[in-house]
Copies of this chain bind each other. A is one copy, B any other.
Amino acid sequence: MADHLFKHLVVVKFKEGIVVEEILSGMEKLVSDIDAVISFEWGIDIESLEMLRQGYTHAFVMTFKSKDDYNSYLAHPKHVEYSAIFSQVIDKIIMLDFPAVQSKSPP
């Protein structure tokens, strides 16, 4: 079996009054600074019913070549520094980390 890319998925609700743009630009800078992150996509929910999104508003998906690369990202001093800030601005969070099964690929 081919190696799977490793995905780090984060879904959050920010605290009231937080300037989310600053947090997001910090995150974009973080992933651009750390080579282990090979791609980063994020978005703000615009569609789901409240009962389905349960207050969560933002989704972030980072992709790594391997779990080892993900671990090196976690241990990176810039990530450690950013996490300390991030943990203070979130109301709630869900995080899943998984080897990605690519079931349908773009043609």
Instruction: Indicate whether A48 reaches chain B with its CB closer than 8 angstroms.
Output: yes
Main secondary structure of the interface of A (DSSP, over half): strand
Q: Which residues of B contact A39 (CB under 8 A)?
A: 102, 104-106
Interface residues on A, range: 35 or more
Oligomeric state, in copies: 2
Q: Which residues of B contact A43 (CB under 8 A)?
A: 4, 7, 96, 98-101
Query: In the complex where A7-B43, A11-B11, A59-B9 touch, is A54 in contact with B94 (Cβ < 8 A)?
Result: yes
CB contact list, A85-107 vs B, under 8 A:
93-107
Q: Which residues of B contact A102 (CB under 8 A)?
A: 39-41
1/0 contact trace for A21-64 toward B, CB 8 Å? 00000001001100001111111111110001110110101010
